[in-house]
Amino acid sequence: MASSRKMVEFFYDIVSPYSWMAFEVLCRYKNVWNIDLKFKPAYLGGVMHGSGNRPPGMVPNKFHYMTKDLERVSGYFGVPLYPPSDVFEAMFEKGTLNAMRFVTAVAEKEKEGDVLVERVSRELWKRIWSTDQDVTQPASLTEAGLKAGLSASELEEILTLSKSQPIKDKLKSVTQEALDYQCFGFPFTVCHVNGKAELFFGSDRFELMAHCIGEKWVGPHPDKPTSKM
């Protein structure tokens, strides 16, 4: 029954490696769990500013932990994550404002379904968090878009759109939606269960999330659960 499906909103920014982990897991589960998964590309910088939070990596011990932890988690989750050579430059100096406007434009153009948003986001994550490539220049965004299956002409249109005021405003409003849920970082997943919003921060709450939405968690690879259990 369509009406029994639960709506799950996934707020993310491709600057966030833990968001990539969670994104891939949700992509694997979206046809396993009885959910409508809605991608919400947003701007992490805006969430940090709006909530008064600061990036965890700014505490040296935490940065050290996260570096090791990401290596371990990417292996366990089966996501080919390799940090960029200069993490601070990639995350904080270059940043992802243009990239997230680009994803927002893809989402706006797609209207129905999230197939292209999913593919484009993945290609952007691969660039920043796997192959140490730029995600700030139009040529970089075009390359990611082509790999995601968009045509050159579609990409030209999307690039122009991504610089428009309505798209800038849209990215701001989705970021504000996250803040309205009292978000303080990404990934941030909102599960709508019996009229209540259940909020999950991070990529390590899937077991609890499954419990909350009445589904089963069988590890990060639902297609081959026996390897885990």
Q: Which of 3, 4, 16, 19 is catalytic?
A: 16
Buried/exposed 168-181: b ≥16 CB within 10 Å, e otherwise: eebbeebbeebbee
With CB under 8 A as the contact rule, which of the stretches 15-23, 47-55, 125-133, 162-170 interacts with a copy of itself? 47-55
Q: Rule CB under 8 A: say whether 106 interacts with a copy of itself.
A: no
CB of 61 to a copy of itself, least distance (A): 4
Q: Rule CB under 8 A: say whether 205 interacts with a copy of itself.
A: yes
Q: Is 221 helix (H, G, I), strand (E, B) or coil?
A: coil
CB of 219 to a copy of itself, least distance (A): 7
In the complex with a copy of itself, the residue whose CB is nearer, 68 or 111, is 68
16 is an active site residue: yes
State how far the Cα of 129 lies from the Cα of 85, in Å rounded to an integer.
10
Q: Rule CB under 8 A: say whether 1 interacts with a copy of itself.
A: no
How do beta strands 6-12 and 196-201 pair?
Answer: unpaired
What residues numbered 111-140 form the site for a copy of itself, per CB under 8 A? none
Q: Rule CB under 8 A: say whether 49 interacts with a copy of itself.
A: no
Write the CA distances from 84 to 37, 130, 172, 204, integer angstroms. Answer: 29, 7, 27, 23
State how far the Cα of 41 lies from the Cα of 34, in Å rounded to an integer.
22
- Alpha helix locations (H) across 78-137? 87-88, 97-110, 115-129
* Contact positions vs a copy of itself (CB under 8 A): 51-53, 59-62, 64-65, 68-69, 72-73, 76, 179, 182-184, 198-199, 201-202, 204-205, 207-208, 211-212, 216, 218-219, 228-229
